[in-house]
Amino acid sequence: MKRERYEELLEELQLELAGMARWARAKGERICVIFEGRDTAGKGGAIKAISERLDTRQFRIMALSKPTETERSQWYFQRYVPHLPAAGEIVLMDRSWYNRAGVEKVMGFASEAQVETFLREAPVFEKMLVDDGIRLFKYWLTCDQAEQEERFAERREDPLKRWKLSPIDVEARRRYADYTAAREAMLAATHSGWAPWTLVDFNDQRQGRLTLIRNLLDRLPDTAVAPDGLEWPALGHPPLREAFTRLQPIAHYPGGED
């Protein structure tokens, strides 16, 4: 999809997202959106497209690092519970408790018994969240191996994206089929009526973002809430001038052009 057309359509959806956020705040709704998928699938870009026009005080992005020694000794879901949304909040999870069924399983960070326990408990845990009123959405972003390889290569060559690569990503390239098998087992065990999975084609990331956002909005109730009326009274005095020291632009940057 061409950038100009993409940005035009995205702006329309972001206007609806802003209305949705206004509705969530007015009604005290709790919204949690999980983004899962292979490395390079486009989770970060999708989250940015949803959040870049929202009030930063209302939404949170959850992207946890590997668990600490203390967290590894806790009930598995325990470290995720503090990040769940409160009234009026939107939480966007860049990966989630499903790490156990994916990377932890494939890379051997969790035992078969731990994975089996997780697959049995996850639907129960999610049922508790939904029954308590949290609106839970689970998205798996799909991309083909050829497309994934192109994105890995781009990250390797771009110094501004190279930080996204890790030894785990390199090893994941060899285990593409293992990740596929783990995903299929996860979907079979955790796709439920109260918390279904939605798979979105992200081979074209721009098209994928638009598709995902449209689906998310369509699955929420009518979110039309009129904006608060803001009245702007006259200042009652002439505009004031600030006094401050102005930092002058650098005349010549070493190594650059004048």
Q: Domains (ranges, CATH) in the chain?
A: 3-218 (3.40.50.300)
Of the candidates 83, 85, 84, 80, which has an alpha carbon nearest to the alpha carbon of residue 98?
Answer: 80
Rounded Cα gap, residues 198 and 138, in angstroms: 6
Element (H, E) at 105: helix 103-106
pLDDT surpassing 60 at residue 169: yes
pLDDT surpassing 60 at residue 258: no
Say if residues 51 and 59 touch (Cβ distance below 8 Å). yes
Question: pLDDT exceeding 90 applies to what percent of the chain?
Answer: 70
Q: Furthest-apart CA pair in the chain: how many Å?
A: 73
Q: So what's the pLDDT on residue 62?
A: 97
Rounded Cα gap, residues 191 and 140, in angstroms: 11
**Tokens describing residue 192:** 């439920």
Q: So what's the pLDDT on residue 152?
A: 80
Q: So what's the pLDDT on residue 255?
A: 64
Q: So what's the pLDDT on residue 67?
A: 93
Q: Is the pTM of this model over 0.75?
A: yes
Stretch 191-199: mean pLDDT:
98
Say if residues 155 and 165 touch (Cβ distance below 8 Å). yes
Please report which confidence band the pLDDT of residue 80 belongs to, taking 50, 70 and 90 as the band edges.
very high
Stretch 102-128: mean pLDDT:
96
Q: What are phi and psi of 165, to 5 degrees?
A: -85, 145
Stretch 126-132: mean pLDDT:
98
Q: So what's the pLDDT on residue 229?
A: 64
pLDDT digits over 205-249, tens only? Answer: 999 999 999 999 999 997 777 776 667 788 888 888 877 787 778
Strand 197-201 and strand 59-62: the pairing is: unpaired
